[in-house]
Amino acid sequence: MCGIRSKIFIYGLMKQINLLILFGILFNALHAQEIVDSDSTTAKELYAEFDSMIRADPSNAQGYFMAGAVRYGNKDYKSAIPYLKETLKLVEIPNKKREKLFESDYDNDSISILVMYGICLSRIENTNEAIDLFTHLYKLTGQKNYLIYQGKALMDGHKYNEAITYFNHLDFGLTDRQWVKIYIGESNFMIGNLKKADSLADETLKTFPEFIGAYKLKGEIALKEKNKSDACTYFHKIITLYDHEENKQNHASEYEIDIVQEVNHLIKNNCEQ
């Protein structure tokens, strides 16, 4: 699906479906590079189109959402924040703005947008505000994944020792624990504890032999140790797993999609000479 056709398709959807479904469609299309590539002409056209919608109707929550979501999908987190913030003020309250973001009457649409907003804060290293937001979401929903987002905010803020301490105190079930283990491994990698990071990756693969986060960590360790051959083997393993797992690309998490994008970049720079 080309960019312009996707754009027209999205415009048609905006009047028919809720923001949560719309975000899912937009997110998958963005990361499949069906709508935009960073700094492309189509990206700029989308920015201009959605900004024009807002100017035409400043109370249009969907316009603000699309303007923010397309920037979020392009990893333009700082620019996405004001649009997402305005969406949260407008959504579900026609002709009235919220007085504050931390309210208890959010529906699923609004919570999803709030998560996107929190991730933006995290990625631009506004660590404390991101942690406050995810703490609020955990209290509101009781879902433990928001505790993981808090730890990721510490990592995004380069507070790796704090992240290690934080993650080590979390109590999760087996599957979630593997994600936590890899985040601890990534934090150890970032502070130079390569043996610990490698050990955590190996522990994860014993239980989940197709866990792409573990292979990425082992590849990065191999690169750091100047073992490019092993690194490329790990990186290509990730692409093989991602490409061949049934329906993977339709159900991948944002974390998995980010890994694949990063690994494609690592392969281009290190494995194609």
CB atoms within 10 A of CB 136: 17
Secondary structure, 3-state, 50-94: HHHHHHHCCCCHHHHHHHHHHHHHCCCHHHHHHHHHHHHHHCCCC
Give 58's pLDDT tier (boundaries 50, 70, 90). Answer: confident
Q: Is 105 helix (H, G, I), strand (E, B) or coil?
A: coil
User: pLDDT above 70 covers what percent of the chain?
Assistant: 72
Neighbours of 219 (CB within 10 A): 28
67-121: per-residue pLDDT in tens? Answer: 888 888 788 899 999 999 888 887 655 444 545 555 555 566 678 888 889 999 9
| Distance from C-alpha of 259 to C-alpha of 1, rounded to nearest angstrom | 23
pLDDT 10s digits, 149-162? 999 999 999 999 99
Q: Give the whole-angstrom CA distance, residue 178 versus residue 182.
A: 6
Domains of the chain, start order: 1-91 (1.25.40), 210-273 (no CATH)
Query: What's the rounded Cα separation, in Å, for the pair 66 and 35?
Result: 12
| Closest by Cα among 215, 213, 139 to 176 | 213
Length of the chain measured in residues: 273
Q: 167-202 pLDDT, tens per residue?
A: 999 887 766 788 899 999 999 999 999 999 999 999
The per-residue DSSP string of 155-184 comes to HHTT-HHHHHHHHHT----HHHHHHHHHHH
Higher pLDDT, 87 or 39: 87
117 close to 151: Cβ distance less than 8 angstroms: no
